[in-house]
Amino acid sequence: MNCGCDSLASGLLDPFVARARLIEAARPIAGQQRCGLEQARGRVLAEDIVARHDMPGVDNSAMDGYALRLAELLHNESVGEGLPIVQRIPAGAGVTPLDEGSCARIFTGAPIPLGADCVIPQEATWIDGPGHLRVEGTFSVGANIRRRGEETREGSRLLAAGTYLDAPALALLATQGIAEVRVRPRLAVALISTGDELLEPGERYVPGRVYNSNRVMLQALLEQQNCEVLDLGIQPDDRESLHRALRIARDSADLVLCTGGVSVGEEDHMRPVIESMGHIDFHGLAIKPGKPFTFAWLGDAAGGGTPLIGLPGNPVASLVGWQLLGLPFVHGRQGRRPAPLQHFPVSAGFSRPASRERYELLRVVLEWRCGDPMAQLAGGQGSHMLSAASQADGYLLVSPGDPIDEGRGYAYLPISQFSV
């Protein structure tokens, strides 16, 4: 999805090149912890897990019905007779042999009796006058039987190190009787907001100042990724305060995430402070919104310095920078494999002039017309306008210099992928 070059005509870094560089730089944090399944949701496995047992452990029935030998059923049907029902096998019963010339009432998950080679679903059966089983339809050997080990064999890899432990993964571990696993430590992230213009929610409004929406948003996004958040609050726009806050963040966190102050204005002091404590890997992306994105190291990167991500101060630009670039870096630091961007073509339901030098991510909602999706603008597209971002289904990605023509297809990135 990128142009294949590190810099576009504007001298800004291609955002997809930047994403690849961040993923490459995201070394997992060290250490392991033992964790019970009840506390493991959202953690990341630190070890491969192998299966302790075959799954299923025995051949079992895939549905409620009757277990039998198909050849005996066919023989009896040929002479106009049914099969006597001589057994009842519920789930959890032991494995028993099936008497010759008979069938067994069986329930979903119950073990197949020895000798049976087919399960007939109860919907395809009826009981005749003598109480024998009669069958409607045609069936084959092995029908409706779950074979031992068809899902997992003992000793095979169940989950790989780096797996994110969501509900299905935890359930899979539970099927093997596993009560605890080794996981990576939670990622500690220091969160810093900068700007003399910022107020915290709950404070009295002052004309000319703005409430700090970035802190609330980013804390929620970090907690969604099961990070430990060290909130260092709002730091004033002076070098001494920023240096002190970054020193605390460097020494106490696995990642520093800051917002604002990373542009090149006279009141943007974050960049020179970062350079005095380490070095900037890159600054400035060819993307709208999100241009002032910064990636840096506090200390020596090769020697284990603390990585820093500087997000723009405008909240939508901060959100886009997090989703497109910050999130895969966090996943890599957690020991997860960052997922590739999900995108598919969607027709635009509007027209718009080209953005000359940058990729543009437009916040859109999907409308369905004749079964096909069509993107419409979710609202105002300013980088300060959270209302459109809060309503959007995804982003329409537009390449530099490419206008939007109504009815034409463009890459669409669903926002849902950024919450996993």
Is the domain spanning 34-55+151-183 CATH 3.90.105.10? The answer is yes
| pLDDT of 210 | 86
Measured from the Cβ of residue 323, the count of other Cβ atoms closer than 10 Å reads: 20
Whether 174 and 165 have beta carbons less than 8 Å apart is answered as no
Q: What is the pLDDT of residues 118-127, one digit of tens each?
A: 999 999 999 9
Burial of 168 (0-12, 13-18, 19+ CB in 10 A): exposed
Here the tokens at position 157 are: 């890899």
Report the percent of the chain where pLDDT is more than 90.
80
Helix axes 270-277, 239-252, angle to 10 degrees: 50
| pLDDT of 382 | 85
Given CA atoms 168, 169, 175, 180 in this order, what sign does their dihedral have? negative
Long-range contacts of 143-146 (CB under 8 A, 24+ apart): 143/118, 143/119, 144/61, 144/62, 144/63, 144/65, 144/118, 144/119, 144/120, 145/59, 145/60, 145/61, 145/62, 145/112, 145/117, 145/118, 145/119, 146/56, 146/59, 146/60, 146/61, 146/62
- pLDDT for residue 169 is more than 90: yes
Q: What is the pLDDT of residues 304-326, one digit of tens each?
A: 799 999 999 999 999 999 999 99
So what CATH class is 344-419?
mainly beta
- Grouping H, G, I as helix, E, B as strand and the rest as coil, residue 124 is helix
* Topology at the third CATH level for domain 60-146: Molybdopterin biosynthesis moeA protein; domain 3 (2.170.190)
Which residue would you say has higher pLDDT here, 238 or 33?
Answer: 33
Whether 111 and 60 have beta carbons less than 8 Å apart is answered as yes
Strand partners, 345: 411
Residue 400 CA to chain centroid, in angstroms?
29
Report the percent of the chain where pLDDT is more than 70.
95
Identify the band that residue 266 occupies on the pLDDT scale cut at 50, 70 and 90: very low
Which residue would you say has higher pLDDT here, 396 or 420?
Answer: 396
In the chain, what are the domain boundaries? 15-31+185-334, 34-55+151-183, 60-146, 344-419
Q: What is the pLDDT of residues 188-245, one digit of tens each?
A: 999 999 888 888 888 898 888 888 899 999 999 999 999 999 999 988 888 899 999 9
Measured from the Cβ of residue 83, the count of other Cβ atoms closer than 10 Å reads: 22
Average predicted confidence (pLDDT) for the chain = 92
- pLDDT for residue 8 is more than 70: no
C-alpha dihedral (308, 328, 394, 224), degrees to nearest 10: -80
| pLDDT of 420 | 85
Query: What single letter denotes the amino acid at residue 230?
Result: L
Given CA atoms 342, 345, 351, 356 in this order, what sign does their dihedral have? positive
E strand intervals along 128-254:
132-135, 145-146, 157-159, 180-183, 188-194, 198-199, 210-211, 228-235
Measured from the Cβ of residue 280, the count of other Cβ atoms closer than 10 Å reads: 15
Q: What is the spatial distance between Cα 362 and Cα 371, in angstroms, rounded to a whole number?
A: 23
Q: What is the spatial distance between Cα 351 and Cα 334, in angstroms, rounded to a whole number?
A: 41
Count of helices and strands (H, E) across the chain: 9, 26
CATH superfamily of 15-31+185-334: MoaB/Mog-like domain (3.40.980.10)
